Amino acid sequence: MGNNKKKEPLCDNIAGEGCGLKKVINIVGGKWKIMILCVIDNNEVVRYGELRRAIHGITNTMLANSLKELETDGLVERKQYDEMPVRVEYNLTKKAKSLIPILLELKKWGEDNI
């Protein structure tokens, strides 16, 4: 017999709805999320203000919204310390950490091919 292995398709359903690949692209897509993940990953844990200063051009609106979505999607963890003034720290979840290596492969591909 020859090589008759079935090829795995990028999407499993005709409409693309619920496609695992599209889901991933959605949760890390958008204008700022990769940068946010990057800064948190580089520092292990960062405060809100650090993120805003580190990411050139981001506004409160976008930073707060993006962080909330990343938290909802289980990529980022938020810890609030009720001091005065309040302090909030963000770190990557295990889930997010397991995604980083794949994103790095993608990055490498982009550097080599775009």
Peptide bond into 9 cis (omega under 30): no
Q: Is 78 in contact with 90 (CB distance < 8 Å)? A: yes
In angstroms, what is the minimal distance from the CB of 47 to DNA?
Answer: 4
Residue 72 binds which entry of its own copies, DNA, none, with Cβ cut-offs from 5 to 8 Å by kind? none
> Could you say which residues in the range 20-59 bind its own copies, by CB under 8 A?
20-25, 27-29, 32, 34-35, 37-38, 41-42, 54-57
Report the alpha-carbon distance of residue 38 to residue 108 in Å, rounded: 15
Element (H, E) at 73: none
In angstroms, what is the minimal distance from the CB of 88 to its own copies?
Answer: 22
Element (H, E) at 39: helix 33-43
In angstroms, what is the minimal distance from the CB of 100 to its own copies?
Answer: 7
- 23, 87, 97, 107: which one contacts DNA (CB under 7 A)? 87
In angstroms, what is the minimal distance from the CB of 71 to its own copies?
Answer: 14
Q: Which amino acid is at 3?
A: N
Residue 86 binds which entry of DNA, its own copies, none, with Cβ cut-offs from 5 to 8 Å by kind? DNA
- The region that residue 93 occupies, defined by phi over 0 for left and psi between -120 and 50 for alpha, beta otherwise, is beta
Say which DSSP state 18 is in: T
Binding site for DNA (CB under 7 A): 30-32, 47-50, 57-62, 64-65, 67-68, 78, 80, 85-88
